[in-house]
Chains A and B, each alone.
Chain A
Amino acid sequence: MSAIMFTLRKLWQNVRHDRTSLVLNVVVLTLTFFTVIVVGVGVVNVDRLTRSIEDQYQVTVYLADDVTLERVNEVAVGLRHVQGVREVTHLDPESFRGRFIEMAGGGIDGIEDVSTDVFPSVLEVNLAPDYREKMDLGAFAGKVSRIDAVESVETHEGWIQQLKGFAGILGLVAAVFGICVLFCSVFIVANTIKLAFIKRQRVVEVMRLFGATRGLIEAPVLLEGCLQGVVGSLAAALLAWALITAVDARIASILGGGEAWSVIFVPVSWVALFVAVCGAVGVIGAHLASARALRV
């Protein structure tokens, strides 16, 4: 108990002596950690976007021209029973044409006059993402295309792979960046604590003269480093949260809302983990500095 009181007292005395450089350092750390959080937010949002795209992912089954509606329904029911299939929707040429016109946004002249016959009749097979990942899509497509009513099957597999690959690379780059920044932060903390040690040389000297053990001298310093990391990362998280909230509100006001185009913040558990890691970063930095300063 008295050791804790001692540590807190010394921490307060140290902090009181050198407020400006402490505040400056926390500001630098806040900005540094801010970049990590913003990158984290980017990763979270790209991931969410990829998921929502994957969620809408479907295999397009082009039906032969002469198939009866009855046969179409039979095939649809059959497909619905395949494991991993979430939904099967039939688009007849008329609705396919409607969708096409809607997507083109009326930009193509004379599209209204094009006959319905040009458009195919299709079944859109929506797959649960969890299943799709394990599924051999090629084999699935092969089987489906062997059904008599089916003309061809389009899996869009390459595109999905590309999307996932891109998200994966982005995540990797973000992780490398985050680790680099945290690594540098160790030295930011170490450097201020080192400077603080020089300014407070007298305190260390006096404590040693009157029989303070190394632990007693080091404890307030480690706590100081830890607090720098924790306060810096919390401030950074708060700043990033405010920024993301503002950006999200702006997007909503431009696009008039809608789930797909909102920006979300990282989960609270990530923030908690990040703050803990930054606290540890502070302790490591402080220890690096004090180990040098206290070498006998």
Chain B
Amino acid sequence: MEVYSGDVPLLAVKNLKRSYPGSVSLLTDVSFEIWPGEFVYITGPSGAGKTTLLKLLYRAERAEGGSISFCGKDITALNDASIPYLRRNVGIVFQDFRLIDWFTVGENIAVPLEILGMDGYTIRERTRNVLDRVGLKGYANVMTGKLSGGEQQRVAMARAVVSRPPILLADEPTGNLDQASASAVMDLMESINEDGTAVVVATHDELLLTSRPYRTFSLMGGRIVDVDYKNSERHRKVIEALSMEAA
């Protein structure tokens, strides 16, 4: 992937279309932009196509029409062999964690770094730091399957950001968690976002949307019907902070 300059959106989705055979068309005309360091919700009723939209973003699904550009590069045109290189720049978190139970916490977190070909020392260092970050210091050698749901989701977040991707996609990250764990996970999302990582959270959790308001895309009838800019103030600050760092 070419060096990303930041003068185009991190993600630019235009007239995106996707349906499933036999069902009504799901996404008919979806357009939005996400800039570096933004925090965005994608919301909508169950079946609205939130998961499908995220899958299109990391190319687990193919668009039927429209375009998605990531760092200025159209990813709808990627061939299968190039998809892995796109995914190396995207962190992903799921409702069901998708961790490997029989791996230790450290081994789970190491996967993206191993794929990037990092050496053992760097992998250990980064794993330790990120575990510290998600509040699981000293858990590196614990079997992942033994952890509670909240802890597992934090491991999943550590795995998603350990390779420092510019964007984190989260599909219902708090869906399987109780209030306290959900809150801890969201705190973590915010702190990751504060470091400059763009965060996209797909959720239908009204409480989340009101208690932690950010820019929100509402999916309905195959389109984004409501773009809420509650967060624009905060967004501007992040952009400013980023450009100051760069200068």
Contacts and interface: CB of A to CB of B under 8 A. Distances in A.
Instruction: Decide whether A and B are members of one complex.
Output: yes
B120 A211 contact: no
Given A2-B118, A296-B80, A207 B111 contact: yes
Contacts of A211: 84-89, 112, 115-116
Contacts of B116: 211
Contacts of B115: 6, 207, 210-212, 216
A17 B120 contact: no
Which of A10, A17, A210 neighbours the largest number of chain B CB atoms within 10 Å of its CB? A210
Contacts of B85: 211
B119 to A, nearest CB: 7
A3 to B, nearest CB: 7
A205 B97 CA distance: 12
B168 to A, nearest CB: 13
A131 B166 CA distance: 80
B87 A6 contact: no
A210 B88 contact: yes
A223 interface: no
A17 B102 contact: yes
A209 B92 CA distance: 8
B98 A206 contact: yes
B91 to A, nearest CB: 9
A10 B108 CA distance: 11
Contacts of A108: none
B84 A213 contact: yes
Interface in A167-222: 202-203, 205-214, 216
B172 interface: no
Nearest to A202: B100
A16 B86 CA distance: 31
Nearest to B112: A210
Interface string B157-198: 001000100000000000000000000000000000000000
B117 A2 contact: yes
Give the interface residue-count category, chain A: 20 to 34
B117 A3 contact: yes
Given A202-B98, A203-B100, A211-B112, A2 B88 contact: no
B102 A206 contact: no
Interface string A1-31: 0110110011001001100000000000000
Given A211-B87, A212-B84, A9 B114 contact: yes
B86 A13 contact: no
A265 B223 CA distance: 76
Given A9-B114, A202-B98, A209-B98, A2 B119 contact: yes
B107 interface: yes
Contacts of B58: 209
A3 B115 CA distance: 8
B103 interface: yes
B99 to A, nearest CB: 8
Given A6-B117, A211-B85, A13 B98 contact: no
A291 to B, nearest CB: 14
A58 B86 CA distance: 79
A210 to B, nearest CB: 4
Interface of B: 58, 80-81, 84-89, 92, 98-103, 107-108, 111-112, 114-120, 159, 163
Given A6-B117, A209-B98, 8 more contacts: A2-B118, A3-B117, A206-B98, A206-B99, A210-B87, A210-B92, A211-B84, A214-B81
Interface of A: 2-3, 5-6, 9-10, 13, 16-17, 202-203, 205-214, 216, 296
25 contacts: A6-B115, A10-B114, A13-B107, A202-B98, A202-B100, A206-B108, A206-B111, A209-B92, A209-B98, A210-B87, A210-B88, A210-B92, A210-B111, A210-B112, A210-B159, A210-B163, A211-B85, A211-B86, A211-B87, A211-B89, A211-B112, A211-B116, A213-B81, A213-B84, A214-B81
